[in-house]
Structure 1
Amino acid sequence: MTPLEEHTQKRAALINADRAFRVDHTRLPHSMELCADKIARRIRTEEATTVWGVEHENVPHPFPGMEFLTGKAIISSTRLFGIIRKMPKGALLHAHLDLTVDPYTLLHFALRYPSFHIRSSEVITSSNISSIVPEIRPLAPDFPAEASSLTDPSYPPMSWVPFSRARERFDETFGGPEGFDRWVTGYMSINPSAAYVTHNNNIRIWDKFRSAALLNMNIVYYTPLWRQYIRQFLEDIAADGILYVEVRINFTRRFMVGADGKMDVPHIEWLKIFKQVVDNFKQEREDFFDAKVIYTVIRDCDAAGLEEHLEDCLVMKKEFPDTIVGFDLVGDENILIPLKDYLEPLLQFKERQKHEGVSIPYIFHAGETCGDGTKADENLYDAILLGTKRIGHGFSLVKHPKLMQICREQGIALEVCPISNEILRLTASMPMHPLPILLNHGVPVALSSDDPAIFQNIGLSYDFYQVVVASEVTGLLTLAHLARDSITYSMLEGAEKVKLMQMWEDRWFKFLLELVSSEKGQN
């Protein structure tokens, strides 16, 4: 054997030994999977040149895994994305329900209800239309309109205008009704300019995020619309090949606004409607398995306030034992209260569950930060010690080798939200994302979308795409493993989990067959 041959042999062995740690190397693929993976890899290689290697209007220097909001239109046009769209995704384990429906759809839902009104702090003019954030709320059915147009020079600031009337009378200078839609929805999501220019760091972009989230939530938390909203969410995810979801519902608001305009609809009613919509959807659709709820509260309350929410969660778990599957604290970890300040009520709640004979696992957000040793970063330690079943985001976990080992050995999966992480400026692009580090260390991962209404990544296809084009190692087989892990690390148990996995495997085989057959037909 020549020195070159020996080196080549050692090189191949070292690569194989190194990649043996990856979670997607634990299962022997069958021939159909290998064939489909080969097809996807070939298309990715071709499009790296034919799509990402050429100039596009208004998209300077495109590259695979580039800033999502800038490259979205290019992504949507690719053949590889079309393939991923058809792929069964498994489970969506990290999404905030009140931020999941496309803003244009939500706006037109609101237009159907006369109770919705809008106001602004100033008359809308050409000089302030790009900086005035409107306020939208449902009011009492008999609430008298205080003005008729936001763009009329005589508009009294902070006066309520019926939503549909404000749209109809939006000045033609600003595009009329269609301009109104663009103006309002522009504040309900994050655009490329905000993400990559005006708010281009992890601190400032959260300000934009909170503003957009509030606009969405003020529409969503209206009982007559709630049912329609949940249905739309389920239709959207099912259309993208998602079979099951554990969605986070934010119960920080004590009440939802009812049809009478009063904020007096309790949490228990929210869940009753949720369960009714889900049950009906399951009966109608063979392509959807189920939807569960992770009780969520923003991490800005004091310990006493958290205790109230934990008690509320316990009550609802008893009322809906098959719907509530976990508890979480959410919000900007960099500025809000860390887990260590909530240890006493969180530890007491674990003991309380034993006495009550119920199980509400912790599924904590932790480590959604670029920090190292900051309170947001150290939430990872407390989340693991508190027994979290999964970790939401866990972006900074790769800085902690011991914690990665624990997650790998104890089966604590990370809910990784690639596009969310990029838009919230934890990383500049997907090739810089730490996801490959997690995969290479055998840490289980479930890809998730987080807040698709704001990030414009409805479903999971965009997140799957960004992951697969940003790596030469990751392929269709890796995506399949991530889909399987999303089911494995769900809160389903026993026969339910087995049934869902089989449902996914059946759809996976059908997807493979169609992909390989269509490829043969083109050759």
Structure 2
Amino acid sequence: MASLIALAQYKSQRAALIAEDRSHRREFRRTNLRSEQEIEADSIVRRIRAAEAETIWKEDHSSIPHPFPGMEFLTGKAIIMKTKLFEILSKMPKGALLHAHLDATVNAEFLLQLAMEQPAIHVRLNEALTPANLSTNLPQFRPLPEAEFSSLSSLTDVSYPLGSWVPLKAARASFAPEFGGPEGFDKWVIGSMTINPSEAYGTHNTVAKIWQKFTSTFITSTGLIRFEPIYSEYIRQFFRSSIDDGILYVEPRINFFPKFMVGADGQDNIPHREWLVMFDRVLKEVKGEMAQQGRGFIGARIIYTTLRFITPEELEWYIEDCMALKKEFPHLIAGFDLVGDENALRPLIDYAEPLLHFREKQKEAGVDIPFIFHAGETLGDGTEADINLYDAILLGTKRIGHGFSLVKHPKLIKTCREKGIAVEVCPISNEILRLTSSMLMHPLPVLLNNGVPVALCSDDPSVFGNMGLTYDYFQVLAASEVNGLSTLGTLARDSIEFSTLNAEEKKEAIVVFERQWNEYIEHIINHWK
């Protein structure tokens, strides 16, 4: 009898210790607010996750010798899409997408289809294509003025003059049979704008190597995206595909480094202001379309970005440009960031003077453009990329992009928790860019257990193949026994709470989200019990 009492006391102490350890988790704080229906739905999802961990993830899969929940995404994606868990999460309301680079948000196949409709788009090669260099000899795209349209018809003919432009349709139609013909052309072009498993886990298996491949995808796609006739439809597809995945609101980062876009006439003559005019027009059209369909869509705002290789002196021009756009489009400009490989490019400290000046100029101009900095997207400890976290926080960043190395800094973790600095965590991006080998090794649980606000994000979905947010939510749920449906709901709510929407807009968005969430809970109970 005494031993039973002692065991009961021990179990009580054990449960109390676990509860205390998890007490900082943000979903723990709303435990008492969960409905009986949400608790039931959570248990259903946990049961399905456990069953699939013992079945589908332990089955033999051709070419996948070591499947497990949370495994490397590009290899495991085929299994993920067969699971009930993925089907359930695909219908989940996701709240807001707070970290995605616009130039990598639309499916590469869709982008190529848009390009094929434009006679102005031409393609060229500077090196002869061979079977051996097919994956590394990348196409270059450019819209040309009508007077410069080319009469050449093939990239792969032995008579092709290297460096010469060929109309896109002609290049596709004449692509040599040894390279796969027109279908091989599509595969080649799409491969140049995406990362495949062998590249991520084989040929480019270090951070430095994979960033080279990653950067090359943008070099290829920019010639297609930054063309006035394509740009509007590209934005439209980004909105629609986000909405289809249950996303209510988006804050894409747009790279304003090039000062002009190519116009319909083939000239570099579309300034930044016109980019926002196009964005605003498409946004209004899509919101009207969604309203007619009775589908919730709160809208979109833009995080203005430029690249970390510019000089501090050059940054001054972009600061002035950002402020001018904010004054004219106050409803669109959400924040400011500097982007690029933190391990290789300039650290934030190099820009401290102009950024501090930027804050003062905002006060003088009566505008508010919060910093939303990438920081800590690195394996380093004490490196410049790691130290970016300190500068981001001291400069007053509203959120932190990636923050992968944040878990190495207890003081910064506490600061983020207490000041409400949310971390835009991009699980699949971090794994493919070789910061972690799987979700089981990702530092996200450290952030969650320390009560740091987190918004799950996709980063560059067209490059990684994680379109929308369902895949990222799946990886986070499948790889943890602690995370449950309530965890995901809290992450989705926090994505709205820590957006740049004003208080009234957030209130409206939360109302829409809560309605969608309750409907989702009912769906799980009715269809998966």
Q: Which of the five TM-score ranges fits, normalised by the shorter chain?
A: over 0.9
1:21 is aligned to: 24
1:114 aligns with one of 119, 122, 129: 119
Match of 2:60 in 1: 55
Matched, 1:483 2:484: no
Which residue of structure 2 lines up, in the alignment, with residue 334 of structure 1? 343
**Deviation per residue, 1:403-443 (Å, 9 max, x gap):** 00000000000000000000000000000000000000000
State the Cα deviation string for residues 14-60 of structure 1 (Å, max 9, x = none): 11111112111010211111011101100000100111011101111
**Structure 2 residue 45 is the aligned partner of structure 1 residue 36:** no
User: What is the correspondence of 1:181-200 to structure 2 with a 5 Å cutoff?
Assistant: 181-200=186-205
Length-normalised TM-score, structure 1: 0.98
In structure 2, C-alpha distance between the alignment counterparts of 1:504 and 1:131, rounded to whole Å:
44
Please tell me whether the aligned partners of residues 254 and 303 of structure 2 are also in contact (alpha carbons under 8 angstroms).
yes
Kindly indicate whether residue 254 of structure 2 is the aligned counterpart of residue 245 of structure 1.
Answer: no
Q: C-alpha separation between the residues in 2 aligned to 1:518 and 1:455?
A: 31
* CA drift at 1:146: 5.7
Counterpart CA distance in 2 for 1:183 and 1:253 is 26
Aligned match for 2:423, one of 406, 414, 432: 414
List aligned pairs for 1:449-488, cutoff 5 A.
Answer: 449-488=458-497
Q: Output the CA distance in 1 between the equivalents of 2:362 and 2:322.
A: 11
Deviation at 1:490, TM superposition (A): 0.5
Amino acid at match of 1:319: E
Which residue number in structure 2 is paired with residue 12 of structure 1? 15
**Cα distance between partner residues in 1 of 2:422 and 2:217:** 29
Which whole-Å deviations, capped at 9, do the CAs of 1:370-418 have from their partners, x for residues lacking one? 0000000000001000100000000000000000000000000000000
Name the structure 2 match of 1:441.
Answer: 450
The match for 2:520 is 511
SS of equivalent residue, structure 2 residue 257: coil
Counterpart of 2:109 (choices 104, 123, 138) is: 104
Task: Name the TM-score, length of structure 2 as normaliser.
Answer: 0.97
Residue 501 of structure 1 deviates from its aligned partner by 0.4
| Counterpart Cα distance in 1 of 2:150 and 2:284 | 39
1:231 Cα deviation from its structure 2 partner: 0.3
SS in 2 for 1:77: coil
Q: Which amino acid aligns with 1:268?
A: R
Residues 220-258 of structure 1 show CA distances to partners (whole Å, capped at 9, x for unaligned) of: 111111110000000110000000011111000010000
User: Equivalent pairs: percent with the same residue?
Assistant: 57
Query: Match for 2:97: what amino acid?
Result: L
Letter in 1 for 2:27: D
Q: Of 499, 506, 513, which residue of structure 2 is paired with 1:497?
A: 506
What is the CA-CA distance between 1:112 and the residue it aligns to? 0.4
1:162 aligned to which of 160, 164, 167: 167
Tell me how far apart the structure 2 counterparts of residues 465 and 163 of structure 1 sit (CA, whole Å).
38
Aligned match for 2:97, one of 80, 92, 98: 92
Deviation by residue 1:292-326 (Cα, 9 ceiling, x = unmatched): 00101111111111010000000000000011010
SS at the partner of 2:12? helix
CA deviation after TM superposition for structure 1 residue 369, in Å: 0.3
2:419 alignment partner AA: Q
Q: Which residue of 2 aligns with 1:153?
A: 158
The alignment partner of 1:301 has SS state of: coil
C-alpha distance in 2 between matches for 1:386 and 1:130: 42
Pairing 1:157-306 to 2, within 5 Å after superposition: 157-285=162-290, 286-306=295-315
Read off the aligned partner of 1:13 and give its amino acid letter: A
Aligned-residue CA RMSD (Å): 1.0
Residue pair 1:123, 1:156 contacting (<8 A) in 2 also = no
- Counterpart position of 1:325: 334
Written as runs of structure 1 = structure 2, the 5 A alignment for 1:66-81 is 66-81=71-86
Are the counterparts in 2 of residues 122 and 156 from structure 1 also a CA contact under 8 Å?
Answer: no
Q: Which moved more, 1:168-177 or 1:436-445?
A: 168-177
Partner SS state of residue 52, structure 1: helix
Name the structure 1 match of 2:441: 432
Counterpart amino acid of 1:397? L
Q: Is the 8 A contact 1:146 1:159 kept in 2?
A: no
How many residues align? The count is: 520
Say if 1:147 and 1:156, in contact at 8 Å, map to a contact too. no
Match 1:374 to one of 377, 383, 399: 383
Structure 2 CA distance, aligned partners of 1:249 and 1:109? 20
Q: 1:403 aligns with which of 391, 402, 412?
A: 412
Equivalent residues of 1:51, 1:78 under 8 A apart:
yes
1:128 CA drift (Å): 2.6
CA distance in 2, matches of 1:504, 1:421: 27
- Decide whether the 8 Å contact of 2:135 with 2:191 is kept in 1: no
Structure 1, residues 96-155: CA drift from partner, whole Å, max 9, x if none? 001111111101110100111111123323233233111111111222316311111221
Residue 143 of structure 2 is matched in structure 1 by 138
Q: Deviations over 1:485-505 (max 9, x none)?
A: 000000011211100001000
SS of equivalent to 2:157 = coil
Counterparts of 2:94 and 2:427, CA distance in 1: 15
Amino acid at match of 2:13: K
* Counterpart residue identity of residue 200, structure 2: A
Is contact 1:70–1:192 with CA below 8 Å preserved after alignment? yes
Which blocks of at least 5 consecutive residues in structure 1 are unaligned?
A: none
Residue 348 of structure 1 deviates from its aligned partner by: 0.7
Q: Which runs of 4+ in 1 moved over 6 A?
A: none
Task: Deviation per CA, 1:70-113: give whole Å up to 9, x if none.
Answer: 11111111100000000000000000001111111101110100
Measured in 1, the distance between the counterparts of 2:62 and 2:135 equals 23
- Could you tell me whether the CA contact under 8 Å between 2:135 and 2:192 is conserved in 1? no
8 Å Cα contact 2:149-2:167 kept in structure 1: no
CA distance in 2, matches of 1:261, 1:148: 20
Gaps of 5+ in 2: none
Code of the aligned partner of 1:23: R
Q: Distance in 2 between matches of 1:335 and 1:126?
A: 32
SS in 2 for 1:261: coil
Matched residue SS, 2:147? coil
How far apart in 2 are the matches of 1:364 and 1:131?
A: 32
